[in-house]
Amino acid sequence: MPYLVFALILLAFLFSALRILREYQRGVIFLLGRFYKVKGPGLIIVVPFIQQMVRVDLRTVVMDVPTQDVISRDNVSVKVNAVVYFRVIDPEKAVIQVENFYEATSQLAQTTLRSVLGQHELDEMLSERDRLNADIQSILDQHTDAWGIKVANVEIKHVDLDESMIRAIARQAEAERERRAKVIHAEGELQASQKLLEAAQVLVRQPEALQLRYLQTLTEIAGDRSNTIVFPLPMELFESLRTRPT
């Protein structure tokens, strides 16, 4: 009977020492409170009462950054939220160097988002998101490296404006469209005037070209439904008639 009890205790002890870690998990083992090693994945043994294990997930974490109130460099108040993609690459640092790496990364992402966007104007927030995402990701990655965290990507999701600012931006965009339309119209007038000047110079140098233009005009008039036709005559014809000897 004592042997059976001893066998049952030993069997329970062995079962309690076994741990199964999945492919994306690692176990940080502490021996009497001191770091021992990182184990996993698969079946591992953790000696009860002597060793303790902390599980760490190595999969990419998708973390929503809560909406932050940001004042841009041109003193525009906006509300911005983002999403951060990160994962643990060093389980030892993620457990030892920081108490809660998820909460620490979240708080760091919020402060970094406000700091980086506050250095840019509103137009840059709306039109240069890729560059701002890269700047935020680089800063986060530098700070979280000591925690064994790799920040893979940062994406700004929404930049919310109040109604008055939306109307102001709409008026600005409309004014910009009108300005471009006027510039294009002025450039067209300039090009047309240059072409007319070149055509006039050609006609002055080539009188025959002017007569051909007269004939073309007659052809166009003849094709119209009009009862009256004005027949243009070259001035050179009158000059030749006036100078002919009688």
Could you tell me the CATH number of the domain that includes residue 148?
3.30.479.30
Phi-psi region of 38 (alpha: psi -120 to 50; beta: other; left: phi over 0): beta
Indicate the burial class of 104 (C-beta count within 10 angstroms; 0-12, 13-18, 19 or more): middle
* Domain co-membership, 127 together with 185: no
* Cβ burial, residue 122 (10 Å; 0-12/13-18/19+): buried
Co-location of 153 and 182 in the same domain: no
Q: Render pLDDT for 57-71 as a digit per residue (tens, 0 to 9).
A: 999 999 999 999 998
CB 112, CB 68: distance < 8 Å: no
Residues 89 and 132 in one domain: yes
Given a contact cutoff of 8 angstroms between Cβ atoms, the answer to whether 71 and 165 are in contact is no
Whether residue 148 sits in one domain with residue 136: yes
| 177 vs 98, more confident | 98
Domain boundary residue, one of 11, 42, 57: 57
- 83 vs 127: which has the higher pLDDT: 83
> Based on the domain organization, do 100 and 157 belong to the same domain?
yes
User: What average pLDDT score do residues 112-118 get?
Assistant: 93
- Quote the CA–CA distance of 128 and 134 in Å, as a whole number: 10
* Strand pairing class (18-21; 25-31): unpaired
Q: Of 35-49, 65-79, 121-135, 189-203, give the lowest mean pLDDT range.
A: 189-203
Residue 224, amino acid: D
Structure confidence at residue 96 (pLDDT): 95
CA-CA distance, 105 to 63, in Å (whole number)? 9
**What is the predicted pLDDT for the residue at 58?**
96
Of 149, 123, 147, 146, nearest to 137 (Cα)?
Answer: 149
145-160 pLDDT, tens digit per residue, is 999 999 999 999 988 8
Q: Are residues 152 and 174 in the same domain?
A: no
- Whether the CB-CB separation of 73 and 119 falls below 8 Å is answered with yes
Q: Give the CA distances from residue 36 to residues 26, 42, 43, 55, 92, in Å, rounded to whole numbers and listed in that order.
A: 13, 18, 17, 14, 10
Q: Which residue, 11, 31, 57, sits at the end of a domain?
A: 57
pLDDT one-digit tens code per residue, 153-197: 999 998 888 776 666 666 767 787 788 888 888 888 888 888 777
| 136 shares its domain with 182 | no
* Torsion angle, alpha carbons of 98, 102, 105, 111, to 10: -110
More confident residue, 64 or 215: 64
The model's confidence at residue 243, banded by pLDDT at 50, 70 and 90, is low
Tell me what pLDDT residue 139 has. 95
Residues 48 and 67 in one domain: no
Comparing 46-60, 75-89, 151-165, which segment has the lowest mean pLDDT?
151-165
246 within domain boundaries: no
Mean pLDDT over the full length of the chain: 83
- pLDDT of 14 reads 81
Q: What phi, psi does 90 have (nearest 5°)? A: -135, 95
- Does residue 225 sit within a domain? yes
Least confident of 7-11, 35-39, 218-222, 241-245: 241-245
| Range of the structural domain that residue 16 is part of | 2-57
Choice among 81-90, 209-218, 224-233 with the minimum mean pLDDT: 224-233
Average pLDDT over residues 24-43: 94
Domain stop point among 135, 161, 187: 161
Show Cβ contacts of residue 150 under 8 Å, excluding neighbours closer than 6 positions.
86, 87, 88, 89, 141, 144
Q: Give me the number of domains the chain comprises.
A: 3
The reply to whether 138 and 78 lie within a common domain is yes
Q: Is the pLDDT of residue 100 over 90?
A: yes
**Which alpha helices (DSSP H) does the chain contain, by range?**
2-17, 91-96, 101-117, 122-127, 129-144, 163-205, 207-223, 235-243
Whose CA is closest to 162, among 114, 122, 112?
122
| 221 and 186 within one domain | yes
